[in-house]
Amino acid sequence: MTTSPPARIGDPVEAIDTPALVVDLDAFEHNIEKMAAFTRKAGVRLRPHAKTHKSPAVALKQIAKGAVGQCCQKVGEAEALVRAGVKDVLVSNEVIGLSKLRRLASLAKDATVALCFDAPEGVAQASQAAVEFGVELGGLVEIEIGMKRCGVAPEAAPELARLIEKPPGLKFRGLQAYHGSAQHVQGYEAREALMRDTTAIVRRTAESLAAAGLPCDFVTGAGTGTYSFECASGVWNEIQAGSYAFMDTDYARIGGRNSDRYADFEHSLFVLAGVMSTPASDLAVVDAGLKAFSMEKGAPWVHGIDGAEVVGVSDEHGKVKFAPGARRLNLGERVMLIPGHCDPTINLHDWYVGIRNGRVEALWPIAARGASR
Amino acid sequence: MTTSPPARIGDPVEAIDTPALVVDLDAFEHNIEKMAAFTRKAGVRLRPHAKTHKSPAVALKQIAKGAVGQCCQKVGEAEALVRAGVKDVLVSNEVIGLSKLRRLASLAKDATVALCFDAPEGVAQASQAAVEFGVELGGLVEIEIGMKRCGVAPEAAPELARLIEKPPGLKFRGLQAYHGSAQHVQGYEAREALMRDTTAIVRRTAESLAAAGLPCDFVTGAGTGTYSFECASGVWNEIQAGSYAFMDTDYARIGGRNSDRYADFEHSLFVLAGVMSTPASDLAVVDAGLKAFSMEKGAPWVHGIDGAEVVGVSDEHGKVKFAPGARRLNLGERVMLIPGHCDPTINLHDWYVGIRNGRVEALWPIAARGASR
């Protein structure tokens, strides 16, 4: 259920109620401009992933900087985007069941809509929904390139592509080739090597489709951890990164070129928490826990205080421990936490509070929060 | 932002859209009746914790069975409860800052409201808010009894109780004595031994308050893992358990009396997921991931299929692996998953879908979802 915004436009940062999801607008804008410039220079399209930000407000800013549209993972996300004016949406995922496919076909009245397939059953259902609504849905073959999740084996792509091309209401558009687990492989060189092998597979698959008379308009994929390799590959022509707009501790930890820290983009996303108890001289308890940030990638980092560490988290509490000599937090003070994993953290909140120069400059509704259907 | 309900009342279970948060109403009613009967027989009040269920619909059902009111962790949860008619709310937590305390004082116009303190600063602010609104707020001293989170040392309770009793608008009501980490200690006997030591501390503290002329109306605490010990103690007179209504894999694993499985209550809460891909003969990918259940207590269990296990989870995908000989799931089939941790899982959803005899019987809004402020 939608909660009230934690601040008003124009408020000083000190007046933001806690916990709140805060975006440093300077860092955010730097990130979306940097990725837009990088992909432009590489000659590939940028289609940022809305599963990260869940917000048409963010989508429209990315598009204003040159993104061709948006990716999403669920029909509910596509609905939030198209209803807010996004004109080109790819569901980078399989969609099963007529009721979901009808909702997707309905969106194709107002936007270019595509989705992924990895089985014939989905193709027949999608064709039926498209025909019912008199629309065309783009169809991509998802190939399995290392994530061991959805997708057909690369060598099975031509057969499925032919199936997509056949029935009314569908048009084969290309390949969904995303290596999700590669994003989080430790070390720049390890990711580069992994993507080198993966690139060869994707290139062969695209070539075999072209040879079968089914050329790919899209070879789409990539994430924040590997985008530079896909951009340089000459195989992918579209990049689906999402986390780059915000970053998190998980991405920071994967390591960059000649560096332990992956720092292609700046941390722009924080959970602002307030100190509700100071039970010991080296401990502060803040009012943000499992319902303000997700924990499956570890506890958040404390921003701006060397020697402060989140050592325990429960539903609505975070325990911050201070090393000897570290600056302590007093009762009622606020602290910015960097989430372990941006996507599921954002999905806990209803509002982004955009800040700049110590003031609240923007409130963006997270309109697709909870839109998992 | 509030999503549409995933089903309509009267729908067959097969028509529920996925993923959805499903409650088996028979099991749920069994659980709330069992706890109500147990506490009634023990002669202690039951004040279930709304941080688990986040829903006035559930609160009012618990109260209809004899619960005296509700606990909650945040002012936003208290607002959702009182606005729906709950007449007695305890915020079992510290509340810092005048803006939050004013919201709490406003609720005291319609309900009996209490909160916890572990520092003098909070007391002065709460008194100011209560005076501004012409209401009385109950004040409990939270004592630290093993969780190492908020709370004063037991021996400091009388001094803080005196501070609460003094200013206008506040009345000292007793002790908040909750051993959160004890709930999850492995083994019935280990929990019993831990709570035996804890009980002695709480008893001494209550006695020292009575000796200081500050008798406790409430000695309140306990959770689903330890409630039977607090009920039997003769010290606690109020039980704050919440998870008992639903259960989860974390509670199932802590072990019961003479049993590896803790089974005082039945699993009534499930995430219903649909199979969106069957990429291998021993693997099904379902449409529920980190945005449909929380993972900090591990992956969910697959309900009703021996040999099926969730082996991988990403934002919107769950990978289910089947042991040789296990029943497989086909594309489009549905499966019930038992969450690892009920509270943060519920906080991801907007609706409970209550089912009985294969039909949707109830849709309960999770009105305090996201109410972390």
Mean pLDDT over residues A186-190, rounded?
A: 96
Question: Considering only alpha carbons, which residue of chain B is nearest residue A76?
Answer: B3
B279 falls in which pLDDT band (50, 70, 90)? very high
CA angle A365, A367, A370 (to 5 degrees): 125
CB proximity A93 to B under 8 Å: yes
Measured between beta carbons, the chain A residues lying within 8 angstroms of B97 are 274, 332
- Decide if pLDDT at B195 tops 90: yes
Q: Residue B202's pLDDT is what? A: 98
Beta-ladder partners of A62: none
pLDDT digits (tens, 9 = 90+) for A249-269: 999 999 999 999 999 999 999
Q: Identify the three-state secondary structure at position B140.
A: strand
Nearest to B331 among A121, A274, A348 (CB): A121
Q: Does A6 touch chain B (CB under 8 A)?
A: yes
Q: Which residues of A touch B184 (CB under 8 A)?
A: none
Q: Which residues pair with A113 in a beta bridge?
A: A89
**A331 Cβ under 8 Å from any chain B Cβ:** yes
B140 touches chain A (CB under 8 A): no
What are the residue ranges of helices labelled H in chain B? Answer: 25-42, 50-53, 56-64, 75-83, 98-107, 120-133, 157-165, 188-211, 227-233, 249-253, 342-346
Q: Is the pTM of this model over 0.90?
A: yes
Please indicate if any CB of chain A lies within 8 Å of the CB of B316. yes
**Average of per-residue pLDDT across B38-62:** 98
pLDDT in tens, A91-132: 999 999 999 999 999 999 999 999 999 999 999 999 999 999
The pLDDT of residue A2 is: 78
DSSP-derived letter for residue B219 is E
Q: Are B150 and A276 a contacting pair at CB < 8 A?
A: yes
Q: Determine the distance from the C-alpha atom of residue B132 to the mean position of all C-alpha atoms in its chain, rounded to a whole number.
A: 32
**Interface membership of A94 toward B (CB under 8 Å):** yes
Task: Using CB atoms, pick whichever of A17, A96, A144 lies closest to residue B331.
Answer: A96
DSSP character string of A206-246: HHHHHHTT---SEEEE--TTTHHHHHHHSS--EE---GGGT
- Residue B13 per-residue DSSP state: G
Is the model's pLDDT at B220 over the cut of 70?
Answer: yes
Distance of residue B282 Cα from the nearest chain A Cα, in angstroms: 12
Does B104 contact chain A (CB < 8 Å)? Answer: no
Q: What is the dihedral of CA B233, B235, B239, B241, to 10 degrees?
A: -60
As given in the structure block, the two tokens for residue A201 are 């597979």
Nearest residue on chain B to A148, alpha-carbon basis: B279
Average pLDDT over residues B336-345: 98
pLDDT (tens digit, 9 = 90+) per residue, A197-211? Answer: 999 999 999 999 999
Pairing of strands B218-221, B238-239: parallel
Q: Which residue of A has its CA nearest to B15?
A: A99
Which of A242, A237, A267, A221 lies closest to A62 in space, CA to CA?
Answer: A242
Span A15-60, pLDDT tens digits: 999 999 999 999 999 999 999 999 999 999 999 999 999 999 999 9
Mutate one of A102, A291, A320, A342 to test the B interface: name it (highest B CB count within 10 A).
A291
CB-based contact, A237 to chain B, within 8 Å: no
* Nearest one of A243, A247, A299, A241 to A273, comparing CA atoms: A299
The percentage of residues in chain B with a pLDDT greater than 90, rounded to a whole number, is 98
Put simply, whether A282 touches B (Cβ < 8 Å) is no
Question: pLDDT-based confidence at B146, cuts 50/70/90?
Answer: confident
Pairwise CB contact (< 8 Å): B370 & A350: yes
pLDDT given for residue B1 in this prediction: 61
Q: Which two tokens stand for residue B36?
A: 């109500």
Q: How far is CA A162 from CA A53, A215, A283, B72, in A?
A: 34, 11, 62, 57
Inter-chain residue contact B18 with A276, CB threshold 8 Å: no
* Per-residue pLDDT band at A364 (split at 50, 70, 90): very high
At residue A363, φ and ψ (nearest 5 deg) are -125, 115
What is the chain A residue with the closest CA to B98? A332
Residue A317: name the closest of A300, A330, A305 by CA: A300
Interface test with B, best of A8, A372, A373 (most B CBs within 10 A): A372
Q: A331 contacts in B (CB within 8 Å)? A: 96, 119, 121-122
User: Which chain A residues contact residue B341 at CB under 8 A?
Assistant: 290
pLDDT in tens, A272-313: 999 999 999 999 999 999 999 999 999 999 999 999 999 999
If you ran DSSP here, which 8-state letter would residue A327 be given? P
pLDDT, tens digit, 9 for 90 and up, residues A56-85: 999 999 999 999 999 999 999 999 999 999
Q: Strands B88-94 and B70-72, how do they pair?
A: parallel
Task: Please list every residue in chain B whose beta carbon sits closer than 8 Å to the beta carbon of residue A18.
Answer: 373
pLDDT for position A1 = 61
Biggest CA–CA distance in chain A, Å, is: 71
Pairwise CB contact (< 8 Å): A319 & B148: yes
Nearest CA of chain A to the CA of B208: how many Å?
A: 21
Task: Give the amino acid at A143.
Answer: I
- What's the angle, vertex CA B331, arms to CA A52 and CA B292, rounded to 5? 35
On whether any CB of chain B is under 8 Å from the CB of A266, the answer is: no
pLDDT for A184 equals 92
Dist CA B252 CA B250 (whole Å)? 5
For the residues B81-103, what does the mean pLDDT come to?
A: 98
> CA B347 to CA B354: how far, in whole Å?
17
For chain B, the C-alpha Rg in angstroms (whole number) is: 22
